[in-house]
Amino acid sequence: MFTDGRSRRVVFLAHCLLNQNAISDGTAEVPAAHREILRTVLDARVGVVQLPCPELCCLGLDRGDPKGGERPVVAENTRIRRAMGQPEASARLRELTDQVVWQIREYQKHGFAVLGIVGVDRSPCCGVNTTSDQDRELPGRGVFIASLRAALESAGLTVPVIGIKPSAPEALDRVRSLLGNEVCNGDSTHTGWRASGGHGPVLAGVSEI
């Protein structure tokens, strides 16, 4: 099964890496997508799975405040983080988390290598090493990454995760390092969650890549 032309290798990328039009007002760095990151993945013959944008799906394109882009980024991010904790947004976030975990389980069940998840640091939702809270950028995870961590751990799935700042000089090297590690092969004895990229915590007792 699945012995056709596909590579059987996939990586999950934060939504905004592929679609800057979904990002919160005032924070887009490029017109459409971070081309070099996408090119790096495709050149490695790895399939791209675009994560849902939790902020867009839970709060809307304007994140519930048309004037949000007038605030300093970390202040608006802090407001977004608080809004994501409201009951309706929180329930939607759980649905999005379940959808991603289901996809990962399906790939692993059929022997595909899920090479990892790439989040975006400083994000209130998709930060891995840093997030935004208290009107500052702080060490810690965004609410979506934290939700994924808990759900994957509960499901007994092991997936490496890195956080990048897409325009930072080291971003491509971190992505290349992730792509060089075929970690998940559907072995149900593997459990936990892995954080890599040279920064951030090691989660669920699994060593860094």
pLDDT at 53: 98
Please determine, for residue 93, whether its predicted confidence score (pLDDT) is greater than 90.
yes
Please determine, for residue 150, whether its predicted confidence score (pLDDT) is greater than 90.
yes
Per-residue tokens: 107:
């790939």
Per residue, what are the HEC states of 90-117?
Answer: HHHHHHHHHHHHHHHHHHHHCCCEEEEE
Per the CB < 8 A criterion, the answer to whether 137 and 156 are in contact is no
pLDDT at 181: 55
Q: What are phi and psi of 129, to 5 degrees?
A: -90, -35
Please determine, for residue 112, whether its predicted confidence score (pLDDT) is greater than 90.
yes
Average pLDDT, the chain: 88
CA terminus-to-terminus distance, the chain = 30
Per the CB < 8 A criterion, the answer to whether 14 and 120 are in contact is yes
Instruction: Decide which of 199 and 169 is more confident.
Output: 169
Q: Cα-Cα-Cα-Cα dihedral of 198, 200, 201, 202, to 10°?
A: -30
pTM: 0.87
Please determine, for residue 193, whether its predicted confidence score (pLDDT) is greater than 90.
no
Cα 76 to chain centroid distance, Å, stands at 20
Please determine, for residue 83, whether its predicted confidence score (pLDDT) is greater than 70.
yes
Which distant-in-sequence residues (6+ apart) come within 8 Å of 31 by Cβ? 20
